[in-house]
Amino acid sequence: MIRALSFLLLVFLSWNCKSKQESLIEEIQELLEEQSYEKASGMLKDYLVKPKSDDEVLSSEKPETPRIVELSYDRKRLVYLEDSKLVWRDTSDGTNGSKSLDEVPASLAVSLNANYALAEYPMTTGCRLFAISLKNNDLLYESGAQISCRNRGGISDDGSKIYYFVDNQLYEEKTVEPRTPKLVVSKEKITPPFSGLKARFFLYPIGKDFLLFSGNAGSYYLYYFQPEKKSVEKIDQEVISPLIYYGTGDSAYYLGGSIGRLHLRRLQFGKSKPSSSKLFTISRKEINPWKLPGKNEFVSNYSGKVHLWGPSRKSQVLPLLCERIWLVDQNKVLCENEKGGLYLTNLDFPEEDWRILKLYEEARDK
């Protein structure tokens, strides 16, 4: 009896949701017949921007400062910063938590499994660093260093060490008193492509090690940094952007090539030295590639739209309007819309959503 009632409830909810979509479609079709294109376009856009009834809303208000979002390497642990509130969520076990910070950080970096975070706080002469535990309250460590806010540091996965750049050199510091920063990589070993420009440096965790980008102005070198050996090795010298997009398993993606000719590149990492491979040329619509599992397909967002694309398929606009996206876990899209809302949604869309997207494009182009 309970199962039967549950089934009937699900059918009713599904029918009710569908009827709302169909009602919207009917109303829009009437507006199009009346040539009320602007009103129709606005109503359709409002539907595509808002989260649906089965989406998970994480935040409905736009923060005063730009929201910072970070993911663990397996994309299962999500961390985001809203002003002085630090929030984390684990999709594998459903655990979540938050922490109020005394100040608003200028930037945030997380460890491999996003159990720890490294926050940078702006000062008049640069930034100061805090190492923070996202599992419990076992770590809140303030570094004595004052660093440039231009760079991105790193933190080990056990939270025991932080890494940061001072005068183009990489330092290591244990997260216990007394503060004892140590030089681990000199500037001669992590040179940027153009010595005449002020360089920027970025760290991203892969296993126990890190990727290190060095450069500026759309031209970077990519290094492999091993903290235990205190060594670095260059693995790519044609990098456009110092950003990585974690894939499925031990992989990450980044952009290489030259301005006007972008190449997608894949980095495989694990127990040995990571290997970089050139994949294929991409367009500006595909510059933030989030890999789907089990398929040679990606999702990206560009100009408020979300695109599904791949090397052997035509790019397809999805019925979802987002200013920024991240692919969380396997195939859940974290969407930040133009109103500043943040929510998780699946990539399975009913037929009515595709019809609404088509009507929106028609009304918008009139």
User: How deeply is 314 buried, as exposed, middle or buried, from its count of CB atoms within 10 A (0-12, 13-18, 19+)?
Assistant: exposed
Residue 10 has pLDDT above 70, yes or no: no
Selected residue with higher pLDDT from 147 and 196? 147
Residue 258 has pLDDT above 70, yes or no: yes
Residue 17 to residue 53: CA distance in whole angstroms: 8
DSSP 60-107: -S--SS--EEEE-TTS-EEEEEETTEEEEEETTT--EEEEE-SS--SE
Residue 16 has pLDDT above 70, yes or no: no
Quick one: pLDDT at residue 138? 81
Could you state, in order of their start, the residue ranges of all structural domains in the chain?
A: 21-50+289-365
Quick one: pLDDT at residue 124? 87
Residue 126 has pLDDT above 50, yes or no: yes
Quick one: pLDDT at residue 49? 96
**pLDDT tens profile 323-362:** 999 999 988 999 999 999 999 999 999 999 999 999 999 8
- In the chain, the percentage of residues whose pLDDT exceeds 70 is 95
Average pLDDT over residues 41-69: 94
Average pLDDT over residues 119-148: 91
Average pLDDT over residues 105-127: 94
Q: How many CA atoms lie within 13 A of 262 on its CB side?
A: 15
Quick one: pLDDT at residue 18? 52
Instruction: Give me the chain's average pLDDT, please.
Output: 90
Average pLDDT over residues 1-17: 47
SS3 content of the chain, % helix, strand, coil (to 5): 20, 45, 35
Reported pTM: 0.89
Residue whose C-alpha is closest to residue 44's, from 321, 317, 278, 233: 321
**pLDDT tens profile 173-227:** 999 999 999 999 999 999 999 987 899 999 999 999 999 999 998 899 999 999 9
Quick one: pLDDT at residue 25? 84
Residues 6+ apart with CB under 8 A from 10: none
> Where is average pLDDT lowest: 137-146, 162-171, 225-234?
137-146
Label residue 154 by pLDDT band (50, 70, 90): very high
Quick one: pLDDT at residue 9? 45
Average pLDDT over residues 76-95: 93
Quick one: pLDDT at residue 239? 96
Quick one: pLDDT at residue 5? 44
Quick one: pLDDT at residue 31? 82
**pLDDT tens profile 226-257:** 999 999 999 999 999 999 999 988 999 999 98
Quick one: pLDDT at residue 323? 97
Quick one: pLDDT at residue 13? 47
Residue 364 to residue 366: CA distance in whole angstroms: 6
Residue 146 to residue 126: CA distance in whole angstroms: 6
Quick one: pLDDT at residue 4? 47
Quick one: pLDDT at residue 19? 60
Residue 132 to residue 101: CA distance in whole angstroms: 10
Neighbours of 148 (CB within 10 A): 17
Residue 290 to residue 84: CA distance in whole angstroms: 28
In whole angstroms, how far apart are CA 14 and each of 17, 21, 56, 112, 292? 5, 11, 17, 39, 27
Number of residues written out for the chain: 366
Query: Of all helices (H) and strands (E), which one includes residue 206?
Result: strand 200-206
